[in-house]
């Protein structure tokens, strides 16, 4: 089956281009693209001048199977991802039980392949039970399909345990994803330390806790030579250390969440718990510094950090409420805020949303290139709408963008050339 996309505004993050073009798909792969007369195809799709870009590769998605299926299942997360232009979900191991054995990982892969219409790549825990005491069987977990190793927001406090795990991961060529925070300082924090947090009476953490955690991690990377990815850099204080590590030739990359790029600490003014995330929202100066870091490439990846929480865990006083927000469907329209504000171009956005995460994981997707998988998203960056959280496909509805005016609607999502979502 060959499919020709015509009249498309083709977003090519590798080339940094945004131009009118056609694109041919054959046997699930990109067969060609250009501006000259297109070849004949069995099916032709007129994009109507809308944007056609690589499907989003979202690192750090929480799917609550096993253990909390009432919050999110692979079916509901997969449907939400497809509706949001996410063609590959890289899932976290912070489930109950944690994904720390080949048997649990194989269960997750089987469930994902049965239920989700998009690609699902699981990460596994770095230490057993994510308790920071004993490393997991990294080699066996890689053989079972783990693409990276992380204890998520459970920072490994014992540096000897961490050094052994990183050394073993280095010997296996494994990628380790860490949460850069000083765990004692950040424990129990609901906001970033500032006059605003003090006036609201919220327990807070200094931005230096992130810098301290990152400094320790970088030292461990220098000692062990492991492949390292920081899941979320959220403060300006951490950026110089990150840039130095890269300039020194360490195998280090970093991501940030779409919420830290589009919201700031003032958004929690009325104690709305849907704005409580981890790390907490930062100052406006931090947000602007993060955008600049994405533009220059110091921060490599933008992700949703999709974290479903049910109503019972969010309808509590701000300090007691669970952290996290769903974002698979809101990732792209929230990113369009950065485009419409003139902060980032579409190729720069998709470099961080698709190309860089795919490259970090060694995937062929995330790019517009001949022979690459035809994982694509067709979207209108200008289409306005008001977000209604009850229309989200995720089981949990904890989004900070409820009722917000947004722009950017996904028209269709394709995985290996097959449509997995089409807007009605």
The pLDDT profile of the chain, 424 residues, written as one tens digit per residue, is 899 999 999 999 999 999 999 999 999 999 999 999 989 999 999 999 999 999 999 999 999 999 999 999 999 999 999 999 999 999 999 999 999 999 999 999 999 999 999 999 999 999 999 999 999 999 999 999 999 999 999 999 999 999 999 999 999 999 999 999 999 999 999 999 999 999 999 999 999 999 999 999 999 999 999 999 999 999 999 999 999 999 999 999 999 999 999 999 999 988 999 999 999 999 999 999 999 999 999 999 999 999 999 999 999 999 999 999 999 999 999 999 999 999 999 999 999 999 999 999 999 999 999 999 999 999 999 999 999 999 999 999 999 999 999 999 999 999 999 999 999 7
Q: What's the token pair of residue 345?
A: 């171009």
Residue found by looking up tokens 């669970």 in the block: 322
Q: What is the dihedral of CA 284, 288, 293, 294, to 10 degrees?
A: 110
Task: Quote the pLDDT of residue 17.
Answer: 95
On whether the CB atoms of residues 90 and 116 are closer than 8 A, the answer is: no
On whether the CB atoms of residues 11 and 352 are closer than 8 A, the answer is: no
What count of residues does the chain have?
Answer: 424
Q: What's the token pair of residue 163?
A: 């050094």
Task: Quote the pLDDT of residue 270.
Answer: 87
Task: Quote the pLDDT of residue 424.
Answer: 79
pTM of the model: 0.96
Rounded Cα distance, 63 and 129, in Å: 17
Rounded Cα distance, 369 and 404, in Å: 36
Whole-angstrom Cα Rg for the chain: 21
Query: 9: burial class by Cβ within 10 Å (0-12, 13-18, 19+)?
Result: buried
Task: Quote the pLDDT of residue 1.
Answer: 85
Nearest residue to 328 via CA among 54, 38, 63: 63
Task: Quote the pLDDT of residue 114.
Answer: 92
Question: Model confidence over 119-175: pLDDT tens digits?
Answer: 999 999 999 999 999 999 999 999 999 999 999 999 999 999 999 999 999 999 999
Task: Quote the pLDDT of residue 420.
Answer: 97
């Amino acid at each position: 089956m060959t499919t020709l996309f015509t009249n498309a505004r083709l977003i090519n993050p590798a080339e940094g281009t945004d131009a009118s073009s056609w694109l041919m798909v054959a046997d699930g792969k990109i067969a060609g693209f250009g501006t000259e007369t297109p070849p004949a195809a069995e099916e032709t799709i007129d994009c109507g001048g809308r944007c056609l870009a690589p499907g989003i590769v979202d690192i750090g998605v929480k799917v609550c199977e096993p253990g909390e299926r009432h919050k999110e299942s692979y079916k509901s997360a997969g449907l939400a991802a497809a509706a949001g232009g996410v063609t590959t979900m890289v899932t976290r191991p912070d489930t109950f039980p944690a994904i720390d054995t080949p048997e649990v990982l194989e269960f997750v892969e089987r469930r994902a392949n049965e239920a989700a219409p998009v690609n699902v790549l699981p990460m596994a825990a770095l230490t057993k039970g994510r308790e920071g005491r004993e490393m997991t069987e990294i080699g066996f977990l890689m053989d079972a399909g783990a693409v990276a190793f992380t204890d998520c927001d459970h920072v490994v406090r014992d540096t000897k345990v961490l050094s052994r795990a990183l050394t073993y991961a280095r010997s296996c060529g494994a990628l380790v994803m860490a949460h850069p925070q000083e765990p004692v300082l950040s424990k129990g924090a609901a906001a970033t330390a500032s006059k605003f947090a003090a006036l609201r009476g919220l327990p807070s953490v200094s931005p230096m806790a992130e810098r301290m955690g990152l400094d320790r991690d970088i030292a461990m990377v220098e000692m062990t030579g492991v492949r390292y990815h920081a899941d979320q850099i959220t403060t300006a204080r951490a950026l110089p250390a990150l840039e130095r590590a890269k300039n020194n030739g360490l195998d280090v990359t970093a991501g940030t969440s779409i919420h830290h790029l589009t919201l700031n600490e003032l958004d929690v003014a009325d104690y709305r718990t849907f704005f409580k995330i981890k790390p907490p929202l930062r100052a406006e100066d931090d947000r602007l510094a993060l955008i600049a870091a994405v533009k220059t490439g110091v921060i490599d990846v933008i992700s949703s950090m999709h974290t479903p929480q049910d109503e019972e865990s969010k309808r509590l006083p701000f300090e007691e409420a669970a952290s996290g927000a769903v974002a698979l469907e809101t990732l792209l329209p929230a990113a369009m805020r950065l485009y419409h504000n003139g902060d980032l171009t579409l190729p720069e956005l998709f470099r961080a949303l698709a190309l860089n995460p795919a490259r970090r994981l060694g995937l062929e997707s995330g790019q517009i290139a001949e022979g690459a998988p035809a994982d694509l998203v067709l979207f209108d960056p200008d289409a306005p709408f008001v977000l209604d959280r009850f229309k989200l496909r995720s089981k949990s509805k904890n989004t900070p963008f409820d009722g917000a005016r947004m722009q950017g609607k996904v028209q269709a999502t394709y995985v290996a050339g097959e449509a997995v979502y089409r807007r009605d």
